[in-house]
Every structure is written in C-alpha cells, then in structure tokens.
Amino acid sequence: MLNFSYRNPVKVLFGAGMIAQMSKEVPANARVLVTYGGGSVKTTGTLDEVKAALGERHIIEFGGIEPNPSFETLMQAVKLGRRENADYIVAVGGGSVMDGSKFIAAAIHHDGEPMDILKTRGRAVTQALPLGVVVTLAATGSETNSGAVVTIRATHSKMAFSNPLLYPQFAVMDPAKTLTLPKRQVGNGVVDAFVHVVEQYLTYPVDGKIQDRFAEGILLTLIEDGPRAFSEPDNVDVRANLMWAASQALNGLIGAGVPQDWSTHMIGHELTALHGLDHAQTLAVVLPAMLHTQREAKQAKLLQYAERVWGINVGTPDERISAAIERTREFFERLGVATTLSAYDLGVQHIDALIEQLQAHGMVKLGERQTITPEVSRQVLEAAL
C-alpha cells in the first residue's frame, strides 16, 4: 500500500426529512447565499424546504447555475454575494450547483483574479466562505469532497480544481430528493459513480485490500441497484444505496493509499467542453476504449475486476478481460448511456481538435503511470468510434 494522509471533515445528514436539521448547522445570524440550478428545485419543492429550514436568516438567492457550470455565470453570483455581504453559502442541486458553489465560496473574498483559482487548479485558494450542500442528484460525490469542475466558456476549457478549504461543512442527503430525476440523469449518476471507482481501482496492484474490497462493494451495489432505479422508480431504499454509493465513490476513502488513473475523466472533459456531451456520457464512451487500450498495463487488476465484480473466471486471461470490458459496456448501455462516439454523432474528423485541447490543457501524461500521451489518447478515441 502507498503512504497516505486522509481526512474528510464533511458532516453528513442522511435520510428522510434531514433538510430541517441544517438549521442547527448554519449560524443564526448568517447572511446565506442560496444557490441552485435551472429551476428543478423550485418545481420539486426542495428550495422551499431549504428556505423553511433557514427560518429567519437573511437569504440571498442565486439561481441559474447551468450543467457544467461556467465561470461566466458563477462570476455573477460572486458579484451578488459581494454586494450583499453573504457570509455562508447553501448549494441546492447536483454536482454542477455544488461545484459552482465551491468556486463562488473561494472567489468572493479572493485576493486577486478569481480566474487564478481555476488556472492554479485550486492552489491559489487561501480562504473560502463556509458551504453547506443539499444533494438532489447522486453522482459526482462533490457533496463529500473538496474538488470541483468549472468551465471557462470563452476557451472551452473544463477546469478541475480542488483545495481542502472547499470541503462542505455539511451535506444533506435525503434520497427521496432524487426520485424526481429524469431517467437520463439517473443513468448518468450511476455511470459517473461507477467510473469514479474504476479510476481509483483499475490501475495496478499495491496490496490495498481494504481499498479494493470497498471499491468492489461499491461497484457491486451500483450494478445491483442502478437498474432497479429504473424498474422500481419509487423505491427510496434503492435511491438511498445509490446516494451513499456515489458519495463513498469519491470522498477520498477508496483512493487513499492506491494509485489513481483519471485519464478517462480528463479526456471526457474535452468531449463535454467541445461537444456538450453530459459528463457521464463522455465516461461511458471513453472508459471501455481506455480499458481495451490499456489491457496489458492494467492486466492484473482487470483480471481481479473480471472475477470479483463480474464473476468471470473461465477462459484465457485475454478472454476474461475482453468479457469484463464487454460487461461494463453493456451495463452502461442498459442504464441508457450510449458508449460510442458515433452514438453522439461524433466521428474520426473530431479527434484532432480533442487532442489539441488535451495538449492545450497540459493533459499529456495521464494515467496511473503517466503513460497516456496525446498519441495514446488518440488511440483511445479511435477505439471509441
């Protein structure tokens, strides 16, 4: 196992009716900037519940944070927060709202250009307003981690950044809040959480038994309950397991002490920035192709994955690996998330620009051994056609 330091300070408030509990977490005299997305929290009633929980506190509302939140939109919230002297942020929504609110939290009192927060990948963050989140979409794990992704629209740059100051103070996770999700977002959420686990698990063995078995437990749960969210759409227990799985997939625990990959995510970000695919759609396209291309470098863990996650233990090593990749692809497709570039009307003619963007963003040595050069990324994209 590799050395690691691990700390996750987020207080989780999990279960039905837990929104009301946030009144104990936010100071009584706080001036609260409440952030949300395109309006789902209004129609579902979640925003009203949040406001009721905040009671007499001064509330400043900022709606309209879009999926794949943009620097340009978020700077409007930063200006509002400055003008109104906000001193606490409550984000109500999915990964985009939570991520965008982490940027706002860091930018409001940032000494210098807020853009530097993105350009330094979060190293420029020296302070942040306290942030609480109310999760309405289980997928990214943003609720219990210190990372975020913000798009600079002007340059089509999807910038991931993180800083320990950006951990939420608390995360309300009421699984019933995800019952209103459209099917597309349910599928997206399961795929995103699944790929988060894979990026930290399918590398090379370092005898991290706890990390491996936790990772496999999350994958098995997603495989079991992901499809059930479609066949039993009103089952809150299913949503509870998916919500906790998504949080555990990216709260730092399974990634501590093991190598991490993240090449699928970085290539995926360019697909979203240039072509507008949903985050999870990009992962469903890139991951099977990445595993195929990296089948030798990842052989030992792929065989472990095949056996322990998919129960594949007959055939040559190569046959078992092929079968495991195929099962992964079928799983994504079953969740309604297509796994080829052509399914999104993209072809070989789009690959050059994607590679140029990877280079422009410094994504030239990706993967657990930094071997995913632009040339390998090209092979992966070609394998994803």
- Measuring CA to CA, how many Å separate 380 from each of 116, 154, 200, 205, 355? 31, 27, 19, 23, 11
Contacts of 165 (CB under 8 A, 6+ apart): 106, 125, 126, 127, 128, 146
Residue nearer to ligand NZQ on the CB measure, 17 or 39:
39
Residues 6 or more apart whose CB falls under 8 angstroms from that of 113 comprise none
Residue nearest to Zn ion (CB): 192
Q: Which helix H or strand E contains 131, and what residues bound it? A: strand 131-135
What part of residues 118-147 is at the interface with ligand NZQ (CB under 6 A)? 136-137, 139-142, 145, 147
Interaction of residue 192 with Zn ion, rule CB under 5 A: yes
Other residues' Cβ atoms within 10 Å of the Cβ of residue 350? 17
H or E segment and range at residue 160: strand 157-162
Q: 139, 99 in Cβ contact below 8 A?
A: no
In the complex with ligand NZQ, which residue's Cβ is closer, 191 or 302?
191
Give the footprint of ligand NZQ on residues 231-270 (CB under 6 A): 250, 265
Distance CA 77, CA 63 (A): 9
Report the nearest approach of Zn ion to the CB of residue 191 (Å): 9
Q: Going residue by residue from 261 to 300, which x/- string records binding to Zn ion, judged by CB under 5 A?
A: ----------------------------------------
Least Å distance, CB 368 to ligand NZQ, is 17
Judged by CB, which is closer to ligand NZQ: 141, or 208? 141
- The interface with ligand NZQ within residues 165-204 (CB under 6 A) comprises 177-178, 180-181, 185, 188, 192
Per CB under 6 A, the list member of 14, 21, 31, 38 interacting with ligand NZQ is: 38
163 binds ligand NZQ (CB under 6 A): no
Q: Which does 227 bind (CB under 5 to 8 A by kind): ligand NZQ, Zn ion, none?
A: none
Residue with token string 């984000």: 91
42: number of Cβ within 10 Å: 14
Q: Which of 81, 93, 259, 288 binds ligand NZQ (CB under 6 A)?
A: 93
Taking contact as CB under 6 A, which single stretch among the options 34-42, 51-59, 79-87, 310-318 is the one that binds ligand NZQ?
A: 34-42
Task: Name the one range near ligand NZQ by CB under 6 A: 87-95, 117-125, 219-227, 330-338.
Answer: 87-95
Q: CA quadruple 52, 57, 63, 66: dihedral positive or negative?
A: negative
Name the one residue in this structure whose structure tokens are 């999990």.
14
Using CB atoms within 10 Å of the CB of residue 39, give its burial: 0 to 12 exposed, 13 to 18 middle, 19+ buried.
exposed
The separation between CA 149 and the C-alpha centre of its own chain, rounded to angstroms, equals 9
Residue among 68, 62, 57 nearest 39 (CA)? 62
State the binding string over 288-327 for ligand NZQ (x if CB under 6 A, else -).
----------------------------------------
Q: What is the number of other CB atoms lying within 10 angstroms of the CB of residue 331?
A: 21
- Quick check: helix, strand or coil at residue 272? helix
| 39 lines the binding site for ligand NZQ (CB under 6 A) | yes
Contact residues for Zn ion, defined by CB under 5 A:
192
Contact residues for ligand NZQ, defined by CB under 6 A:
37-41, 44, 67-68, 93-97, 99, 136-137, 139-142, 145, 147-149, 177-178, 180-181, 185, 188, 192, 250, 265, 279
